Structure 1
Amino acid sequence: MLLKFQNQKRDLLVLFFISLLFVMGSMNTVLADSLTNSADTTKAVFNSLESLQISCAADDGDMQRASDPELTEKIMNLASSNNPEQRISALSQLGVKAPIDAGVVQKILQKAILDKDSNVRAQAVYAIAQQECTDVLSVLEQALHDSELSVRMMAVDSLGTDERSIFLLEQAKDDEEEAIRELAAMKLESLPNTGKH
């Protein structure tokens, strides 16, 4: 039986799940390696976002003109770092509509969804959703098929209330991981006029 959470409690739970995933960081890779080497399972680790070309061109010409060169350079340096935590930091800053040239944002996000680090990919999924890229639902749908829990969690968390998002949340209720199923069910329960799912 699912408990209905108020929006604040739901948001705190989502933040807890996301924080837990990022704290685990490299443990995801170790876990994935152990899963692929286990005799009991043949789960392959794969990046479901590899074939996507994202489109995050700014609709707002003012955002393009008001780009901050210093901030742009800082984010570009972080995004190109060998340290995954710095790449995540760059993507976190793109999670809010910072005054950065749309072309730079597009390049950073495109590179980030191809990253080998699942936490970087997860943060890229979030940033793409926050940037309201034109193909955000395609990205989220693909991310739901990623082998890494952190990427799928971020995809579920980023789904909205439109019809296609609700359909994808319904699909996520069948995920192999309980955390994904619970988050999808919780989001569906919090939607108005959707009843019990």
Structure 2
Amino acid sequence: MFLRLPPQALLGRQSAARRLGFGVLRPAGIHVVLPPEVARPRIPGVVVHHEVLPVTAPVLVRGVPCVPPAHCAIDLARTVRRADALPVLDAVLRAGLCDMDELLAEVARHQALRGVRQARELVPLADARAECRQESQLRLVLIDGKLPPPEPQIWVTDSTASSVTGSTSAIASGGSVWSTTAFRTSIATGYARS
């Protein structure tokens, strides 16, 4: 496919995120970025974005040129819906492809672009401890609801101080931890608090 694209083409947005290892959004087509002065090729299945900001250091991933991780994450954080933007930021941090300082520097580079306000608001909320898209989305719902920010990845124990295993959903608030797995287990064994 890259043989049919101009030499300046880089994999971008959802496609680059997936190739780089933090793809939490399913790409609709193959997303590539080009400088604004390069004509937009018409190739079925390829979504072309003219990139106003120069890509400073393209990354080669298994032979495919991609935008750098921080640049890709901020592009997505400013262009996708809010509920999808935070999972992208969490995922790039979790993958260890950039750190918070790099995200903050990149969002500053995007200062005049459409959607940068959303990205600027979400970058400080990003957390590498979030393990899935839904966890990031739940955290955002709680924060938007003016609740205290939840602590991701809390170890939940039962009354014997044994770690609860299996799929566990937990929300920590005001010193209390509510675990759906521990609660179901305590009800099943007759030890539910009243």
Give the TM-score, by structure 2 length.
0.28
Compare the two structures and name the one with the higher strand fraction: 2
Larger-gyration structure (1/2): 2
Compare the two structures and name the one with the higher helix fraction: 1
